[in-house]
């Protein structure tokens, strides 16, 4: 690269100029300058500069760049939240479907079924027989025989193996459906326990304040010892409730970890499962986040039942049993056609050598495989009854889940409006009046217990709605949103 420079006589360039580039990096909290060794020689010829550059990079700098690139390629699921132990419903379901031991065992069964499909051979192995008589110079015989199934048994066996593979896949889908339903229900129970504990902790905080005020009033002679003891009893009751809820929370976490296939001692915090729970504190009752009433008016019971009968894999599995029985009946009938064995003979004796052909066929005079045929026909009747029973069971599950959702919706309507808000305001006013000495302790306790009872009932009703919705989606094996027009 040639560059023309203009310079005055005052600043005469030297014959060689060295340029150094600097790289600043942070090392152990101190800012230290590290140099990139970059030497440039610029010889001067008739006002022109010719530059030759040789760069040598710092190895520590290169390693750091590689590490940053590697970290940028990592995909960390955002649903796990920023805090350890927090997990969303979507991640719980994905983890359970991936790590649950029961599903993994069924996946191994699928591999076994697939191997059996591929293991059905087109032909049986040939049979080789040889015999010697009279020593080395005596008679010798060699026979090679190959059997052929004339009734097409191999085709029936392969179709039976394929049906078993379909059943294994249907079993995996059915187990995934049931697991998803169980995970949702346990997740909602975990969210319910967390919100109850949160509410009880707030009650404990207010109960401690009331107990301190009551003790002070007792010492000053403003209230009797029975009223002071009443405040202490209220505090102990709240602490006992918190202990019971902590135990329930640990059991729910244990069940959730078991479904997820995770270490059983892992602490889980449900986030985002019930939208209303995010701000459901003492002073913030929320609007019920349920589907609008016209949604279920569009999704009639007949539509849900029809979709369930088309989607449920447990019904498909029973229908595959009928298909399997049909193929087994065909195989049993095909077994009546005897196999043909074709063989080549080679015999050697002192006088002559002979070659020949051997044909063998079994004559079905006494056993025509009637037992297997009759058993397959009887099994067909059983399959028909089981299919009808399974369809009835699915319809019952859909109807029960549908009724549960509608009942939960009606229950939640009792908590709409200003009832919870007014009760919360009354509780605040009563507490303030008690702190100012204008209300009695018993009034505060009664108002607080009424508020706790209503809040607990609302949280339980909200959880019951989400659990009923999960059961309905499991009954039709499809999210409700997919059925909306």
Strand ranges across the sheet with 52-56: 21-27, 30-41, 52-56
Residue-wise DSSP of 429-457: HHHHHHHTTSS-HHHHHHHHHHHHHHHHH
Strand partners, 360: 341
* Encoded tokens for 297: 């008016």
Could you give the count of Cα atoms lying within 13 Å of 301 in the half-sphere of its Cβ?
13
Strand partners, 4: 48
Compute the distance between CA of residue 293 and CA of residue 344 in angstroms, rounded to an integer: 81
If we measure between CA atoms, which residue out of 428, 73, 411, 389 comes closest to residue 284?
428
If we measure between CA atoms, which residue out of 248, 220, 283 comes closest to residue 428?
283
Compute the distance between CA of residue 364 and CA of residue 98 in angstroms, rounded to an integer: 52
Give the pLDDT confidence score for residue 64 in this predicted structure: 60
What is the chain's pLDDT, residue by residue, as a tens digit (485 residues)?
444 434 444 444 433 333 333 333 333 344 443 333 344 344 444 444 444 444 454 556 556 666 555 554 444 333 343 345 788 999 999 999 999 999 999 999 999 999 999 888 777 788 888 877 666 666 778 888 888 888 888 888 899 999 999 999 999 999 999 999 999 999 999 999 999 999 899 889 888 888 888 888 788 887 788 888 888 888 898 899 999 999 999 999 999 999 999 999 889 989 876 665 333 333 343 444 445 555 666 778 888 999 999 999 999 999 999 999 999 999 888 888 888 888 888 887 777 788 888 888 877 777 778 888 899 999 999 999 999 999 999 999 999 999 999 999 888 888 876 777 787 788 888 888 877 777 777 888 888 888 888 888 889 999 999 999 999 999 999 988 888 76
Tell me the three state secondary structure of residue 141.
Answer: strand
Q: For the stretch 304-315, what's the b/e string if a residue is b when 16 or more beta carbons lie within 10 angstroms of its beta carbon? A: bbebbeebbbbb
Tell me the three state secondary structure of residue 37.
Answer: strand
Which domains does the chain possess? 2-72 (no CATH), 78-483 (1.20.1600.10)
Are 42 and 16 in contact by the 8 Å Cβ rule? The answer is yes
Give the pLDDT confidence score for residue 275 in this predicted structure: 60
Angle formed by the axes of helices 153-219 and 313-334, to 10°?
160
């Amino acid at each position: 690269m040639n560059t023309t420079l203009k310079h005055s006589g005052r600043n005469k360039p030297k014959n060689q100029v060295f340029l150094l580039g600097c790289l600043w990096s942070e090392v152990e909290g101190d800012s230290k300058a590290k140099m990139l060794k970059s030497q440039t020689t610029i010889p001067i010829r008739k006002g022109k500069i010719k530059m030759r550059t040789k760069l040598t990079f710092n190895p520590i700098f290169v390693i750091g760049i590689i590490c940053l690139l590697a970290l940028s390629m990592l995909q960390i699921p955002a649903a796990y939240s920023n805090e350890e132990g927090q997990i969303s419903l979507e991640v719980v379901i994905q983890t359970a479907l991936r790590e649950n031991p029961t599903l993994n065992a069924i996946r191994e069964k699928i591999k076994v079924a697939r191997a059996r499909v591929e293991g059905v051979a087109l032909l049986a192995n040939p049979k080789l027989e040889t015999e010697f008589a009279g020593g080395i110079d005596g008679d010798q015989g060699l026979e090679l025989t190959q059997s052929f199934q004339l009734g097409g048994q191999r085709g029936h066996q392969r179709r039976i193996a394929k049906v078993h593979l379909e059943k294994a896949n249907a079993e995996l889908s059915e187990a995934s459906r049931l697991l998803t339903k169980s995970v949702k229900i346990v997740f909602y129970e975990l969210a319910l326990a967390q919100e109850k504990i949160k509410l009880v902790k707030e009650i404990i905080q207010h109960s401690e304040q009331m107990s301190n005020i009551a003790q002070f009033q007792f010492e000053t002679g403003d209230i009797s010892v029975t009223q002071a003891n009443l405040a202490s009893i209220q505090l102990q009751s709240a602490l006992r409730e918190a202990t019971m809820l902590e135990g329930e929370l640990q059991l729910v976490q244990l069940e959730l970890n078991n479904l997820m296939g995770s270490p059983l001692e892992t602490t889980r915090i449900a986030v985002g499962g019930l939208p209303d729970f995010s701000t459901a504190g003492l002073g913030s009752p929320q609007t019920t986040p349920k589907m609008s009433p016209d949604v279920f008016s569009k999704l009639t019971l007949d539509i849900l039942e029809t979709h369930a009968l088309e989607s449920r894999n447990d019904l498909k599995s029973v229908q595959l049993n009928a298909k399997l029985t049909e193929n087994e009946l065909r195989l049993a009938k095909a077994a009546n056609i005897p196999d043909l064995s074709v063989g080549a003979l080679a015999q050697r004796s002192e006088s002559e050598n002979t070659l020949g052909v051997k044909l063998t066929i079994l004559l079905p005079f006494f056993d025509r495989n009637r037992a297997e045929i009759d058993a397959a026909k009887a099994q067909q009747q059983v399959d028909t009854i089981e299919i009808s029973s399974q369809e009835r069971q699915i319809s019952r599950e859909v109807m029960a889940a549908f009724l549960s959702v509608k009942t939960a919706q009606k229950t939640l309507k009792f908590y709409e409006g200003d009832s919870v808000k007014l009760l919360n305001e009354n509780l605040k006013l009563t507490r303030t009046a008690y702190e100012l000495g204008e209300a009695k302790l018993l009034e505060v306790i009664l108002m607080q217990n009424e508020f706790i009872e209503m809040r607990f009932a609302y949280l339980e009703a909200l959880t019951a709605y989400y659990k009923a919705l999960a059961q309905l989606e499991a009954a039709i094996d499809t999210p409700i949103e997919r059925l909306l027009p």
